Structure 1
Amino acid sequence: MLHPSYTDLMCVVNKDVEEGETKVVNSRYSIVMATAKRAREIIDGSMPLVDTRGGEKPLSVAIDELNQGKIKVIGEEEE
C-alpha cells in the first residue's frame, strides 16, 4: 500500500488552489504520472530533493518529494 495515500498526495498538490478554481490534479493517474516522471529523472542522475536512506527506490524518493512539496505538478497548459 502506498503511504501517503493518493488522496493525501492530491491534497498536497492542490493545497494552493482556491475554492472555485480548477484543481491541478483530479485523479490518481496524474499523481502516478508525475511521480513516475520524477523517478525517471532520479534514475537518470538528478539529485534527490529530500533526505534519502540507503537503498531507497527512486519512486519512493519521488513520492516523498511530492508529499513534502519539493516538486510541483503543473498542468499541460502551463508547460
Structure 2
Amino acid sequence: MNFKPYNQNQLVLFPHSFDDLISSDHPVRIVNDVLDNIKIDPLLRAYSAEGNPSYHPRMMLKVMVFAYMENTYSS
C-alpha cells in the first residue's frame, strides 16, 4: 500500500515535539491509545496501492474520532 509518511513523534523546530503542547491528561491521549490498539485491517484493505499516497488511515481515524468528541463536524 502507498501511504504518506506518518510519524507521530516527528520533531519540529518549536516545540520539540507535539507532546510538549498536549498535557498528559488531555482526552486526545485516550483516543490515541485506544486507536493504536485496535485492528484496522479491513480499513487498510479498502485502500488502493495505486495513485498518490494517502494519509495513513489510523491517523485519519484518530482525527475523526477526536473531532466528533469535540463536536467538530466536517461537511
Using CA pairs under 8 Å that are at least 6 residues apart, name the structure with larger relative contact order, 1 or 2.
Answer: 2
TM-score after normalising by structure 2: 0.34
Q: Give the number of the structure whose residues are more often helix, by fraction.
A: 1
Which structure would you say has the larger Rg?
Answer: 2
TM-score after normalising by structure 1: 0.33
